[in-house]
Structure 1
Amino acid sequence: VVSEFKNRGMDFVLEAINHPTYLEDLTGLTELIKSASSFQLDWEGEDVSGTEN
């Protein structure tokens, strides 16, 4: 983010203001959220020790 700001200056700031997901896309947060939301855990049927209930 810092290097992008240094390279683009006010254009970077305007991009971040005008496009709500710009910073998330730039930092990889958008992709992380997508991969996390597609990952499902099935906690039902297991207790803490990992054995079936």
Structure 2
Amino acid sequence: MTLVDAATPDGVSARVTVATVWHPPVSSLFVPDGVRVEATATSRTVLR
């Protein structure tokens, strides 16, 4: 897994993006290099 980006766009929330390459369990001619999978999560904390 690779960290692609980590930022605080507005100073209150945090956004993190990670990516990896998934390889099918059985060798496939259609995706020999695998499939890139990317996920982004945003979290916001509000202190009162």
Query: Does the TM-score normalized on the shorter chain lie above 0.5?
Result: no
| Bigger helix share | 1
| Bigger strand share | 2
TM-score by length of 1: 0.22
TM-score by length of 2: 0.23
Query: Taking CA–CA contacts closer than 8 Å with sequence separation of 6 or more, which of the two structures ends up with the larger relative contact order?
Result: 2
